[in-house]
Structures are given as structure tokens and as C-alpha cells.
Amino acid sequence: MPAGHLRRSLVAVLIGVAVPAAAAPAAGLTDPTGDPATSEVTPAPVSLRPFADIVEFDAALSGSTVELRVRVAADGPPPTSFLAGIGVDTTPGDMYRQYDVAIEHVGGSTDYVVSAYRSLGFICRGVATFDGASTYTARFDASCVGSPTVMRLSVAQSAPAPQATVDRGAAEPEPRELRPRDHAALPLRDRRDRVVVDELPSHGDV
């Protein structure tokens, strides 16, 4: 089945401007349900797909705090691990992201890691939140991503998490390796079998 039948893209503006006090999310994206992708060779169970199905993605840059919030279609704790990988571009003019943020829910705990793009180390890490229903939120100091005044963000999430990202201290979600069109080409030992993925790219301009 062609990948185009499994996913679609949303394009919208996500801009955060530093302000002296806390504020509501500066901008957000919504995404219809039912569009996550899974491998054609070893598809994820249908019951798992709503836990990787993005419904809303919000971001805010308020003073010295960055807040990222992801809501999924399913209601209730995920039956397995969950990973939201968020790309952060703090210089939108160059079209390249500088940072990765991973929000991972494993074994009842939710954590976040901020790292330089494609780095195996981390810059910041801490406890994220899960509201017990469908929303995952990470709040961290803006200095973790260079104290920007504007951010271009993209998000890809998967269930189960393809690797123990937070546990090993890295924030590289490697969403490209999870795309169905690439899945069959991966070496057998590297296949992310029975993983369901949803992607929601976005673009921001000052």
C-alpha cells in the first residue's frame, strides 16, 4: 500500500514570542483522527493506533519557559510505550532544525529529553506530564534550545516507542526510519515491527 494512502501533512504557523509572563499556547495545530501510518509488512494492532494518532499539537514560548503539548485520539493510559519526537528549528530562515525534544511515556512515567539534532547526548532532561487521559506536556527552560524568539516545530509520534530514548539519554526519534515506504528496506534486526506512527509537520515564519 503506498505511503500516500496512510498519512497526510498539515502546514500551519507556530510562532512563540517571548513575553514577561506566562501565557496560553501561542499557536496550535489540529489534525483529524484516523491518519496514522503503520507498516504494510507487520502492521500494528488496530487497537494501538489511536494512541499514536495526533489530534492537537500546541507550543508556547512564555518568558524563559517552552511548553510543548501533544494530544492523541485515544483516551486513557497507553497499553505500551509512547514517544513524541518534536523537531525544533530556532532559525527558520535556514530550514534546518537544531534541536530534538522527546516526550516518552514508559511504565507509567512520562519524561522529556532535549538534545542537539541527531545527537546521542542530551542538553536537558526532566519529568513531563500525562493528564491520565490523552495529553502529554513538556515544560523546560528556553535556554535548553538557545533561548529563541521564534521556533519552527514538527512532531512525529509512535506507539510503541521504537527505542528507549529517554532511558539512554538521547532525543533522536528517527522518524524517517519509521515511514512505511522505508520499513521493508531496513535490515531485519533493525525493523520497527508493529509500530504505528503519525506525523504533523509545521512551519513558522517571523
Rg (CA), the chain: 16
Q: pTM of the entire structure? A: 0.74
Q: Is the pLDDT of residue 10 over 50?
A: no
180-206 tens-digit pLDDT = 444 344 444 344 468 888 887 764 332
Q: Which one, of 68, 34, 69, lies nearest residue 52 by Cα?
A: 34
User: Measured in Å, how far apart are the chain's first and last C-alpha atoms?
Assistant: 39
Reduced to 3 states (helix: H, G, I; strand: E, B; else coil), residue 12 is coil
pLDDT band at 163; cut points 50, 70, 90? low
Q: Which one, of 69, 75, 78, lies nearest residue 103 by Cα?
A: 69
Higher-confidence position of 194 and 49: 49
Higher-confidence position of 53 and 30: 53
d(CA 194, CA 196): 7
- Residue 19 C-alpha cell reads as 513575553
What residue type is assigned to position 34 of the chain?
Answer: G
113-152 tens-digit pLDDT = 999 998 888 999 999 999 999 999 999 999 999 999 888 8
**Where in the chain are the domains?**
3-174
